[in-house]
Amino acid sequence: MSTDRQNISDQDLALVASWRRGDISSFEALVRKYQKRILNIAFRITDSYEDACEVTQDAFLAAYKGINSFRGTASFSTWLTSITLNLSRDRYRQNQAKRRNEVCYLDGPLAEGEDAIRPDIPYPGPTALEKLERRAFHERLMQCIKALSIEFRETLVLRDMQEYSYREICDILDLREGTVKSRLFRARDMVKDCLKKGL
Amino acid sequence: MEHEEFRLKLAAYLDNAVSAEEKEEIRKHLAMCGRCRGEIADLELTVSHLKTLPEVDPPSWLADKIMAKVEEEGGQRSTLWKWLFFPLHVKLPIEALAVLFICVTGFFLTRMINEETPITAKPSAPPALTKARPPSHEESEVRSVSALPKTKVDIQRRLMDNHPKMEEKNQVPSLSVNPNPQESTVTQEKALPNRKMIEPELQWTGNEYFTEKETRSAVKEEKGAAESKGGKKGKSLAGGEDSAGSVLQRAGNVEITIIVDDPALASGKIENAVTSIGGRINGRSYGGATNQLIIRIGADKVARLVDRLSRIGAVKRYPQLSPDAGGTIDMIIRW
């Protein structure tokens, strides 16, 4: 596992070096390699597919502009994830502020615009009933994650969904390992309680 | 460890992120604590649920849009580059000419500025300078004291001022009275603290040193010249400075007057100028209408000092010294 990660990191560094020499196709290779991961992290934090797409674009653009600040002490994916989390956090806070200032309609929530981008989430399952049950459970799980405050949410997303190591999470969030462990326990505990209440 | 401490470490235990020692302790605790066993089972289930959450796929246009934005960003840079340098055969000669033009203009501007700044006075230079540039108000005030023809009384008073024995005999106050009855300017000359250190035998009269006797004869000549000129006072300011004005300045006691914009700021610079060329500061008087610094310096360094002072402010009164003067000189710098 760690050998695979090391190989990936070495490949990334080679691509970064080539990109620094002016080969734009190396950067494109990195975009295609990491766009899904970055999009999913942004999606779990911002809770909006549209926002996640924008954050992903911004994150890659910021990486392109700020490549000189990448020293190679951490892996490229850690550095990119760190940029993404910062942008996602900003977007999340903007959305929170916007919601606080929004007019509340008593006759129900606003209908989403028809042009809004919606994620195409695959639900594999043998029967339609199972698919529906699974979808309902995932929606419930999503609600539980959404209920978490941002610092618990990002720790949970990085560890349980993106499977970053504790060391990498420490680098990305710039936290001590003890803090990461404590946050992760609290986040899992809250999700567990939330799911129990719902079931 | 207490039960709560074990509980907090359950998430890390699940991820195998605890030390071997902690792992063993937790395992033992789990064997005894049914509540913790239930909790770790729930946590494990939650984590497995979280891992089953499906990932969203990026839209097909996302990578292309990112690349388009990046190329737009890079394109802006290359456009600026092209705008500055391409086509090379047209723009490089133009840019080279522009650089040359800037250099030449800068050179001439620097020269012009240097010409405007006061040139360090050489012993023979003041007449030429005075003729070349009409005196300003400040300059004429300074020269009204130092350069106009002096009477014998005036000169004698100055001589007595510098000679303790003569001062004892004649108790005339050390006032320099402008001999010109029309202007009747009275200027108080400040007594120098180190006056006794000055050698009274030598008097500088513009071009050469005289003994005290010779000075007196020069005074007589000066008086005669002044009388012959009659009412033509200030006929030639430069001439006055060369003759009577210089008689007053002694080899051991020379004055430099500088006009500066900020006297307080200039104090430090002037002191630096003196010390940097090996001069010694014997006394200072700051804060009054006129600041003054009493220094001792080698006669061969006076020109360098004047040069440095001229960079600090406009030197309005130059020291009158023989070019071959040796030894050390006590000097007053006023600003």
Residue B92 lies in a domain: no
- Residue B216 in any domain: the answer is yes
The answer to whether A153 and A145 are in contact (CB under 8 A) is yes
Q: Write down the pLDDT at residue B302.
A: 84
| pLDDT, tens digit (0-9, with 9 covering 90-100), for B135-161 | 455 444 444 444 444 444 444 455 455
Following DSSP, what letter does each residue of B158-205 receive, concatenated?
A: HHHHH-HHHHHH-----EEE-S-TTT--EEEPPPPTTGGGS-TT-EE-
> Is the whole-model pTM more than 0.80?
no
The answer to which of A59-63, A143-147, A175-179, B113-117 has the lowest mean pLDDT is B113-117
Domain contains B259: yes
Instruction: Tell me whether residues B66 and A61 touch, CB distance under 8 A.
Output: yes
Q: With a cut of 60, say whether residue B249 has pLDDT above it.
A: no
> From the candidates A21, A39, A153, which should be mutated to test the interface with B, based on the most B CB atoms within 10 A?
A39
Examine the pLDDT at B233 and tell me if it is beyond 60: no
Dist. CA B256–CA A171, nearest whole Å: 69
Average pLDDT over residues B314-324: 71
Closest chain A residue by Cα to residue B5: A182
Is B10 part of a structural domain of the chain?
yes
pLDDT range class, residue B257, cuts 50, 70, 90: confident
Sheet architecture: strand order including B253-259: B280-285, B292-298, B328-334, B253-259, B314-317
- Interval A63-104: pLDDT, tens: 998 888 888 788 899 999 999 999 999 999 988 888 777 665
Residue B306 lies in a domain: yes
Q: Distance between CA A180 and CA A159 in Å, rounded? A: 10
**Rg of chain A taking only CA atoms, in angstroms:** 19
The residue type found at A116 is A
Q: Where are the domains of chain A?
A: 1-120, 124-199
Structure tokens, B88:
């090379």
User: Which residues of chain B make contact with A120, given a CB cutoff of 8 A?
Assistant: 56-57
Write down the mean pLDDT value for chain B.
68
pLDDT in tens, A132-155: 888 888 889 999 999 999 999 999
Question: Do B159 and B175 sit in the same domain of this protein?
Answer: yes
Specify the fold of A124-199.
Arc Repressor Mutant, subunit A (1.10.10)
Instruction: Provide the pLDDT for residue B100.
Output: 94
Whether A196 sits inside 8 A of B53 (CB atoms) is: no
Write down which residue in B52, B70, B93 finishes a domain. Answer: B52
pLDDT at B102: 95
Q: Under an 8 A CB cutoff, do A185 and B8 touch?
A: yes
**A64: exposed, middle or buried (C-beta count within 10 Å: 0-12, 13-18, 19+)?**
buried
Give B116's pLDDT tier (boundaries 50, 70, 90): low
**Cβ atoms B10, B36 nearer than 8 A:** yes
| Each residue's pLDDT tens digit, B1-38 | 677 888 888 888 988 888 999 899 999 998 988 888 99
Q: Do A64 and A27 touch, CB atoms closer than 8 A?
A: yes
Task: Show which of B250, B271, B302 is a domain's final residue.
Answer: B250
CA distance A41 to A45: 6
Give the number of domains in chain B: 3
Considering the domain boundaries, does residue B93 fall inside one?
A: no
Range of the domain at B241: 123-250
CATH architecture observed for domain A1-120: Orthogonal Bundle (1.10)
Instruction: Find chain B residues with C-beta within 8 A of A117's C-beta.
Output: 59
Interface test with B, best of A38, A185, A193, A199 (most B CBs within 10 A): A185
Residue B94 lies in a domain: no
CA A122, CA A98: separation in Å to the nearest integer? Answer: 30
Containing H/E element for B258? strand B253-259
Query: Tokens standing for B232?
Result: 């033509």
Are residues B140 and B221 part of one domain?
A: yes
pLDDT of residue A126: 64
B239 in the same domain as B142? yes
pLDDT digit string (tens) for B52-77?
888 899 999 999 999 998 888 776 66
pLDDT at B91: 80
Q: Using 50, 70 and 90 to split pLDDT, how confident is the model at B321?
A: low
Query: Which residues in chain B are contacts of A145 at CB distance < 8 A?
Result: 50
- Cβ-based interface (< 8 Å): residues of B facing A: 8-12, 15, 17, 42-43, 45-47, 49-59, 62-63, 65-67, 69-71, 73-74
Q: Which amino acid is at B65?
A: K
Residue B114, domain member (yes or no): no
